[in-house]
Structure 1
Amino acid sequence: MAFQLIRCGLASAKLNPLARYSSHAAHKFSHALQSAPATELTVLDNGIRVATEKTSSPTATIGVWVEGGSRYESAELNGIANFIERLLFKGSKTRSKKQLEKDVYGLGAVLNSYNDRESSGFYATVAPGDVSKASELLADLIQNPALSSENIEETRNEVLKELEESQSNHEQVVMDYLHSVAFQNTSLAQSKFGSTENIQRFTKDHIEQGLDLFFKGPRMVIAASGNVEHDQIVKLAQQGFKGVSTVYEKNGIPSSPVGHYTGSDIRVRDDSMDAAYVAFAVEGPGYNNPDYVAMKVASSLYAPWDLTHGGGENLSNYYGLVSASDHLTQAVKPFNLAYKDTALWGVYFIGERMKLADMCWQIQHQWKRLYLEIANNEIRFGKNNLLTKLITQRDGSASNANSIASDVLRFGRRISLEEWQSKIAQVNSDKIHQMGEKYFWDQCHAMSSLGPVEELPVYDDLRMTMSWVRY
């Protein structure tokens, strides 16, 4: 077994690019702090939270975000949030699909939606003067969806096709496998798509159950960003969403399921594939855990790398998990998938057929180095990387509206850039070493893999190596 120790931070100050990164990041963040808008938050009588930020963006975005996704679905309803996401854009009881398309085109609007395990969002980007029209359109689609048999069947076919196409996205497949084994017998194990069987049998009654489950005042956030006035958005929300209830008629009040983690392994062997797709993770802290920020910094220390992208070996060599010269992988990507009470912190990689063992040992070696040897001057790189990501998440009205809603759904309030900066500044080498002791040393890992995985080390061998880091 052979692997190369990647030298991080051992070079002289003259060769170390951290000083340049630090100065540049500090300048960008200082400018962002000076121009950061104030956040205004109002809670309506029915529990809907309205959050806005007035910015200099030439566009305005308004939308509805919901604490609702596959984590909150029963096994019977798994996939209903994704189904509803597509169905809502088929029109309403008073607005046909054709009329909806005309209205959106007439506004020059960009209508978007998404759903994941813990949230869903529906939002429109328009000229600032058309915010009221966009708000009315969203309120109509969400509260008065057209649940005709024709719309349901059309949506069913689209979702089944989406599910079929998703099977060719190997990264998505492997990450779904990872959730299925890491959170066994919990709703976090469920895919957002649901099963083919569920999609095929969803009826109007199932859809109404899903709508009743998710679209309740206390689970909803209306966020707006751009050249908008908070009082105007509050009035639009009061008028357009006054019919939203806090009472659960069909399902009862939904519980907040706990994401129990289980160290485990799933391997889908297919020797006809050219490469192996692997996710290797440990349980991390959820976003309500005090350790959350430190683990975000730790994840930001590692640089993703892809063989198909331009650039030289140094792109993967400095603060990377591997060196391009090792030829161990075609691509590598760190991830930190945080949920309310848990997280998956790890690495996804596309591995060479007969080099999977060396790649796994290399990842574990870098984890060991992270929490035993990492120095403050190196951690500065991760901090700068994270600060830059926080800035870009607030760039543009659509990105910023999503960022506002995400904060309010997760933390109950907007987290300012100043507060993020303060939290990140408190992370140092001692803190990272503590994180290693808590989340890496002698901890059970979770792994999922697809492809020619015969050379992947068995679970027990990798688990045994998770206890070596002190020696």
Structure 2
Amino acid sequence: MAYRVQLPNGVRVVGEEIPTIRSVSIGVWIGTGSRYETLENNGISHFLEHMFFKGTRRYSARELASVFDGIGGQVNAFTSKEYTCYYAKVLDEHFPLALDTLADMLFHSQFAPEEMEKEKKVVIEEIRMGEDEPDELVMDVLTENVYFGHPLGYTILGLEDNLRRFTQGDILRYIGDRYSSQNIVVAIAGNISQAAAVAEVDRLFAAADNRFTKDMHNVTPPVFQAQSSFRKKDTEQVHLVLATPGIPAGDLDLYPLILINNALGSSPSSRLFQEIREERGLAYSVFSFHSAYRDCGMFGVYAGTSPEQGGEVAALIRQTCADIAAHGLTEEELQKGKDQVKGSMMLSLESSSSRMSRLGKNELLLGREVTLDESLEKINQVTPEDITRVAGRVLSQPFATAAVGPVQEEEFARWTS
């Protein structure tokens, strides 16, 4: 049974008791990411994520790593456009220690200048590594251009020049702006009772600042710009992405879009995988995806192919999308998609980490729990008419196109016309 409790200082605790397993997954979710940055501090959310692991009043950076290694647990973090998550998975008997350590990192990190300088080098290497991974780089090129001038288009990793300038004062100001109690969700799933979990969070997170978080929800929606962007790079393949405006988190049209995505390119039996890879041998990697944000979304297709085949692959992607936009899905595709999606959702129940993530993300983005039964019912209710309507809403719009690879800009321009 899932639960939701809001503590007196505004911190929200969401959880699920799972007495049939021995693990507990904990996630501290903060409603901040690159979307809430400026050009001057782009990258600070991600850098701060790193710095929380670099020493507290009680633990050095090495000792923090040893806490979880010593109990056979896992700890990590990630930053996205709209949220940052610090998470751990441990045996149920180690829940108090794990939560205590996460809280210590969140409220008592020292941000020592010498540790900051070392970690800046690490993050700069991470940024440079991304430049060497063109399948990831092309996504940044695409996002920067379709959301040009809007923070949603900023890179999550940030800019080298910004990182070099960050000071301890910058870090502390950003925490004051974004890490208030009203912007914190603690999600817990596993073999721990609601009473014990909430009591521990209440004790350890009482230190959270209860000021209203600056611009927590007052963010301007971006305007999707269907323009083309190209980065010439000496690679073996050209990495290509085509994208259209998608659907925001919480919109009921997400359910038909999940099934469209499944049929178009998110599985080995999908149209794009079968046509582009299996039938024509034009790519090893080809897939469709959808990213849902608070107030907008992006639907896209990625493919990596040889430069001389880029035009053909781009044309096949457009053609396949146009066919679904005009005619929807077959009855077989729709039913198979429902079975696949429901099966995937049900299998995710076997992981305490998946359950924790589902609880935390839904609370942070939607302000409520979306139960598995609710999601399954919404998938079951999708009709062929829903598919046609949503496919028209998403796939009939002009495509933005981005490419990274060893082709001339004139040739790339022909692919987008």
TM-score if structure 2 supplies the norm length? 0.93
The CA deviation at 1:204 is: 0.5
- Cα distance change of structure 1 residues 66 and 320 upon mapping to structure 2, 3 Å threshold: farther
1:125-144 matches, within 5 Å, as 125-144=89-108
Match of 1:456 among 408, 412, 416: 412
Percent identity for Structure 1 against Structure 2: 23
Partner of residue 293, structure 1: 255
> Aligned pair in 2 of structure 1 residues 392, 155: CA closer, same or farther (>3 Å)?
farther
Q: Which runs of 5+ in 1 are unaligned?
A: 1-37, 306-313, 462-471
Give CA deviations for 1:235-292 in whole Å, capped at 9, x if unaligned.
Answer: 111110101122169x67673232221111101123x422100110111111132312
Determine the structure 2 residue equivalent to 1:238: 202
Matched pairs, number: 413
Deviation at 1:398, TM superposition (A): 1.9
Structural RMSD (CA): 2.1
| Partners of 1:83 and 1:199 in 2: CA distance | 8
Contact 2:263–2:271 at 8 Å: present in 1 too?
no
Change (3 A) 1:317 1:237: closer
Distance in 1 between the 2:160 and 2:272 partners?
44
1:284 aligns with 2:246: yes
Deviation string, structure 1 residues 92-147 (Cα, Å, up to 9, x no partner): 12322233233223332211111111111111111101111111111111011111
Give the secondary-structure state (helix, strand or coil) at the position aligned to 1:402: helix
Q: How many angstroms does 1:458 deviate by?
A: 3.4
Counterpart residue number, 2:62? 98
Q: Which amino acid aligns with 1:334?
A: S
Deviation per CA, 1:305-331, whole angstroms, max 9, x where unpaired? 7xxxxxxxx867687452423132232
CA distance in 1, matches of 2:372, 2:16: 13
Report if aligned partners of 2:74, 2:90 keep a CA contact under 8 Å in 1.
yes
Please state if 1:404 is matched with 2:368: no
Alignment partner of 1:268: what SS?
A: strand
Q: Which residue of 1 aligns with 2:291?
A: 337
Cross-structure match for 1:156: 120
Q: Is the 8 A contact 2:401 2:416 kept in 1?
A: no
Q: Quick check: 1:390 aligned with 2:345?
A: yes
Residue 127 of structure 2 aligns to a residue whose secondary structure is: helix
Find the aligned partners of 1:77 and 1:400 in 2 and give their Cα distance.
33
Letter in 2 for 1:44: L
Contact 1:72 1:257 in 2 (8 A): no
- Matched ranges for 1:108-147 at <5 A: 108-147=72-111
Specify every segment of 5 or more residues in structure 2 that has no aligned partner in the other structure, as ranges.
none
Mean CA deviation greater in 274-283 or 404-413: 404-413
Tell me the residue number matched to 1:468. Answer: none
Residue 153 of structure 1 and its aligned partner are, at CA, apart by 1.0
Query: What is the match of residue 50 of structure 1?
Result: 13
Inter-partner Cα distance in structure 1 for 2:33 and 2:120:
18
Tell me what 1:227 maps to.
191
Task: Determine if contact 2:257/2:390 at 8 Å carries over to the other structure.
Answer: yes
User: 1:213 Cα deviation (Å)?
Assistant: 2.6
Q: State how 1:171-190 maps to structure 2 within 5 Å.
A: 171-190=135-154
Which one has a larger percent helix, Structure 1 or Structure 2? 2
Q: 1:262 to 1:458 in 2, by over 3 A?
A: same
**What displacement does 1:395 show?**
2.8
2:112, 2:118 → 1: CA distance? Answer: 10
Select the residue among 395, 398, 406 that pairs with 1:444.
398
Give the aligned partner of residue 30 of structure 1: none
Q: Per-residue displacement from partner, 1:309-366 (whole Å, max 9, x unpaired)? A: xxxxx86768745242313223201111111111111100002221222111111111
